[in-house]
Structure 1
Amino acid sequence: MNNPGKPPALHGISGSAPGLSLDLNAPAQGNVGDRKSRLRLSFGKSEAADKTEPSISMMKTSISLPLQIQSLEDIGFSTQLDRLQCRSLQNTGKLQLSPEIVYEFTADDLEDLGEIGRGNYGSVNKMMHRKSGTIMAVKRILSSIDDREQKELIELALVMRSTHCDNIIRFYGAVFKEGDCWICMELMETSLDKFYKYLFGTLQSSFPEEILGQIALATLNALNYLKSQLNIIHRDVKPSNILLNRRGNIKLCDFGISGRLIDSIARTNVGCRPYMAPERIDPTKSQESYDVRTDVWSFGITMMELALGEFPYPIQEWDNVFKQLSQVVEGEPPRLSRDSHPQFSDDFIHFCNICLMKEVSRRPKYKDLMVHKFIVAAQEAKTDVEAYVEPIFAKMDVDRFPENFPVTS
């Protein structure tokens, strides 16, 4: 994993009461655990049946991650912010396109090229920064969020702007316009859920195992970076949150800058695919016991779905949410085998199956997966993903920034 830079210094983890107390006289510190639990910066497009939006509610417990963010003073925080000041906060912001290229900008410096997604909390538009010509995705969070959340959004954008991981969506900056918060992010071409459905459905094809290896490697790199460098657990790993472009870049998104994200199943309807680990659904399990292995389960479901071209659970047999949850908690997990799936190698089969161990203590963590034979082979192979995806993108008849760019709220 390429990690040339160093993220904001993170110091110990401690318990915290719900809510956010932001001392603006302190050296740019804040309770990221609380901030993160309530906000999502989203890219992956929802399933058609997934129409109910998540409830952005505070969790009963949270973690505190004091951050040192040198840039905070650059965005206009004063020592005493009142409600009126907050509404006008960040009318002028900093757009950091690279470590060397930084622009002062306002929302008026962005040319709107059309909406590419919408949710209850706002929209995502394709926009161009006029001075640089940079095309980007801009998530516009409606002014219905409160003042504290607006301040949190700015801090979150700054945290992620300092992130240096090739497999995580880049954040350029944030600005306010008429109370709405505009968050500027890297624009990718499609998500893996759209890509694999076209691949399996229209082209009647499938991913070569070496491409699955590169997808697994990129996703693991991103998840491991979030946890090891920012102490973030994703909690919403699925194909729609893994993005792809013509150049073969594979990037993770929709991690909400959160250590305690909204549960995927909280917004489910019948027909929605539950990627959550059994221990997250089971009400007898304590949330305090969750760790990265919850993401490992979701990652295993994701990899199996991409390999098979369909969700590994029998969605067609579910006619209510209870059956969905019961299947995950009480039923046997999906399994690959040489008998039923002879097209896959033993290493890939073993890799997927160990990710889907129902007993958490037997499920591997990232450090274990990174040394698995399947991942080591992917690291050594240096497969040209661009050469594989470019002809498929050409057949999909999409330009570099298509209107169907995947977005969820």
Structure 2
Amino acid sequence: MTRRIGFRGPKNLAHNTTTTLMPDSGFKIVKTFFARKSSKEIPVDLPVVEEDAVDSTQHGRAFDRRNYSIVTRLGRGSFGHVDLVRSNGNLYALKSQKTRQPAFGGEIDAHLLVCQRGDHQNIVKLHYASGNDNKTGLIAMEYCDGMSLSRLTTLLSEDQLRPIARQVVSGLMFLHSIGIIHRDVKPENLILCRDGTVKIIDLGVAHNTNTSSPTSASGTLLYMSPEQITCMDHPLSYGDKVDCWAMGVSLVELALGKLPNAHLPKHEAVAIIKKGDPPTLGRMKRTHNIDREFSVDFQEFILSCLKRSPHERASAVELSRHRWLTMQDEDGVTQSLVDIVNEGLRRRDSHTKK
């Protein structure tokens, strides 16, 4: 039996339906578009589930919105909260939206587009999405058993950062190839799993460029590119290279344990990101008196991410071909990452039990 997910729109809108078959996952996504008679078709923001939940789990039954138990709270914010839940024997990260907001519909839309294009091993996978009449919504995603890079207590070496960067670039290449800009790449949204796999999570402010160009300063301030910062003053369209800038900032932070411009007042940080010198490894080492050595190739890779002009900045595809990223990993590097995340999870679980 196929499973369908559709969009419900206002009663005064005409609609038509397009169906995409997902041969690998065994379900169909039915996406309904609504349009006023005199305007072009537009997607309505929140979906409702028809028949059963969308599910791409290979083992066990689908996520059941009527039958799940909360294991623990994973996080909370102004949007609502994220819980680790169990349903039909499987674990999911369940994001609950308190109020209907355009960004939540955009997040679902981005996840659905990823599903339609076949998913990617470095992008968190959608299993279920819904909205209802009391203006709340749910998104059930795969549970990534690991830790965000922001919670690691050990500074990673250049050799350890390479396989992480390689996987992030691979995930960004996929998103960009289907027209999705993540807009919030940062260590907190990069999960290092127990097996060494890296997952890009949280498409909460992702933008679908198939429908329009982004013109807002969405994301996390200190990881924003100069062109995003400019949008704080006036709308300006930008492209997917903002994710490459954010990745460069993230690598600097992970390599040195210092987030560029975090020690400055907000207005000074904004001014520096907008018109100052990019936060290269050398400049950050001098600013914070850090004694760590890095290869020329690694420094050039980060510099490729942090070119002020997006026209000069490397794209995800170009980064994937960079000499530093294509180097062969040393023996034991992946295992060292596995050991780091497992030790971190052991300490977290031990602290939780206390």
TM-score bracket, normalised by the shorter chain, equals: 0.7 to 0.9
3-state SS, counterpart of residue 219 of structure 1: helix
2 CA distance for matches of 1:238 and 1:134? 28
Q: Residue 137 of structure 1: which of 87, 90, 93 is its match?
A: 93
Q: Deviations over 1:180-207 (max 9, x none)?
A: 3221111222211111xx11xxxxxx21
Q: Matched residues in 1 for 2:137 and 2:167: separation?
A: 30
Measure, in 2, the Cα distance between the counterparts of 1:381 and 1:277.
30
TM-score, structure 2 as length reference: 0.74
* Alignment match, 1:170: 125
The residue number in structure 2 matching 1:333 is 278
Greater relative contact order (Cα < 8 A, sep 6+): 1
* Cα distance, 1:326 vs structure 2: 0.7
Secondary structure class of the residue paired with 1:324: helix
Alignment of 1:42-61 (within 5 A): none
CA distance in 2, matches of 1:140, 1:402: 27
How many matched pairs?
312
In structure 1, what is the equivalent of residue 86 of structure 2? 128
Structure-2 change in CA distance of 1:159 and 1:247 (3 Å): same
Residue 236 of structure 1: CA displacement? 1.4
Q: In structure 2, do the counterparts of structure 1 residues 342 and 117 end up closer, same or farther at CA, with 3 Å as the change threshold?
A: closer
* Contact persistence 1:175–1:181 (CA under 8 A): yes
Instruction: Give the alignment's Cα RMSD to 1 decimal.
Output: 3.8
Are residues 285 and 218 of structure 1, via their aligned partners in 2, closer, same or farther at CA, if it must alter by over 3 Å? farther
Matched AA of 2:73: E
- CA separation in 2, counterparts of 1:335 and 1:135? 40
CA–CA distance in 1 between the matches of 2:224 and 2:300? 20
Q: What are the equivalent positions in structure 2 for 1:234-273 lying under 5 Å apart? A: 234-256=182-204, 257-259=206-208, 260=214, 263-264=217-218
The worse-fitting range, judged by mean Cα deviation, of 368-377 and 278-287 is: 278-287
CA positional deviation for 1:138: 0.5
Q: Secondary structure at the match of 1:220?
A: helix
Identify unmatched segments of 5+ residues in structure 1. 1-18, 30-68, 81-85, 200-205, 405-409
Which whole-Å CA distance do the structure 2 matches of 1:88 and 1:231 have between them?
20
Question: Does the CA contact (< 8 Å) of 2:191 and 2:200 recur in 1?
Answer: yes
Q: Is the Cα contact below 8 Å between 1:241 and 1:253 reproduced in 2? A: yes
Does the Cα contact within 8 Å between 2:147 and 2:192 map onto a contact in 1? yes
Aligned partner of 1:202 in structure 2 is none
**Which of 16, 24, 41 lines up with 2:15 in the alignment?**
24
1:208-357 aligned at under 5 Å gives the runs 208-228=157-177, 230-256=178-204, 257-259=206-208, 260=214, 263-264=217-218, 274-282=222-230, 287-288=236-237, 290-313=238-261, 315-316=262-263, 318-319=264-265, 321-337=266-282, 343-357=293-307
How far off its partner does 1:395 sit? 3.5
- After superposition, the Cα gap between the structure-2 partners of 1:186 and 1:171, relative to the gap in structure 1 and judged at 3 Å, is same
Residue 312 of structure 1 aligns to a residue in which SS? coil
Unaligned ranges ≥5, structure 2 = 1-9, 21-26, 36-44, 209-213
The one-letter code sitting in structure 1 at the alignment partner of 2:115 is R
- What is the CA–CA distance in structure 1 between the aligned matches of 2:309 and 2:61, rounded to whole Å? 50
Partner Cα distance (1:140, 1:345) in 2: 44
Q: Would the aligned equivalents of 1:236 and 1:263 in 2 still touch at CA under 8 Å? A: no
Specify the code of the residue in structure 1 equivalent to 2:123: I
Amino acid in structure 1 at the alignment position of 2:186: K
Q: Specify which of 362, 365, 368 is matched with residue 315 of structure 2.
A: 365
Cα deviation digits, residues 321-377 of structure 1 (max 9, x gap): 211111111221122349966621110011112211212322112222111101111
Among the aligned pairs, what percent are the same residue? 25
| TM value normalised by structure 1 | 0.65
Residue 45 of structure 1 corresponds to: none
User: Do the aligned residues in 2 keep the contact of 1:192 with 1:242 (CA within 8 Å)?
Assistant: yes
Cα distance between partner residues in 2 of 1:402 and 1:122: 27
- Contact 1:264–1:274 (Cα < 8 Å) also in 2: no
| 1:159 counterpart (97, 101, 113) | 113
CA contact (8 A) 1:165 1:225 kept: yes
